Amino acid sequence: MLADFEQTMQLAAQESERHEHHYLGTEHALLGLLRTSNAPAVSVLRSRGLTAEAVDAELARLEAEGAVPLRDGGRELLRGLGIDIEEVVARLDRSFGRAAVDEATCRVARRRWWRRSRRVLAPLAKPVLLKRALELAERHAHAAGREQATIDDIVVGILGDAKDPLGTQLSRRGKRSLPQLDLVPGSPAPVRLIVEARGLKLEQLEQELTAHDQSGGS
């Protein structure tokens, strides 16, 4: 994976974990970039009031309103059966290592024969809902003549993805898995809600970033 993509995924994973969410979304990637990156596009967002603190607060508000689901993934239900999933995860980490647990979770979730039936998300799995934003970032980079997408392209990809409702371009199987995460296909993307709550428009921000990019960041 390309370095900037990998960095974005890691930041998104950290923010998702910090907010106790059970998926990786573009809102986590955006927050992670705002917290750590000095890329020109990120600076433009900060100058328009989209600081890490502001996005963090908006995300907390969306959680309180139920627009962004908090982590469960069957955890409460399993707790009702006397299984503390946090304890299970801690023991598995100690015994097998985080990487092996993540890999096994991934392998199980992608197993081919599961596809014939309804997909069951393991409580340890953390679905990634960033793919479309990263694809848009790659497309934006190619259009600008860059071989690899940079953080600036990824920011444009995140905003571009947020213009469309949740679940856009997801496969039927992908759309079916959204309600399992307590996300509603067709509802506005959390990034859109965050941006608009700050009195900004996605389209306007996107235009500003493109203009900034074309002027060479001056």
Residue 104 binds to another protein (criterion: CB under 8 A): yes
Instruction: State yes or no: residue 13 binds another protein (CB under 8 A).
Output: no
Establish if 111 lies at the interface with another protein (CB under 8 A).
Answer: yes
**Is residue 120 involved in binding another protein (CB under 8 A)?**
yes
| Cβ neighbours for 152, distance < 8 A, ≥ 6 positions apart | 39, 40, 41, 42, 209, 213
Contact between 23 and 10 (Cβ < 8 Å): no
Q: Shortest Cβ distance from residue 61 to another protein (Å)?
A: 28
Asked if residue 36 binds another protein (CB under 8 A), the reply is: no
The residue with tokens 């000095």 is 38
- Distance (Å, whole) CA 161 – CA 98: 30
Quote the least distance from Cβ 125 to another protein, whole Å: 7
SS3 24: strand
- How far apart are alpha carbons 155 and 152 in whole angstroms? 5
Does 88 engage in binding with another protein (CB under 8 A)? yes
75: contact with another protein by CB under 8 A: yes
Q: Contact with another protein (CB under 8 A): which of 10, 96, 148, 207? A: 96
> What are 128's strand-pairing partners?
24
What does the binding site for another protein look like in residue numbers (CB under 8 A)? 73-75, 77-78, 80-83, 85, 88, 92, 96, 100-101, 104-105, 107-108, 111, 113, 120-125
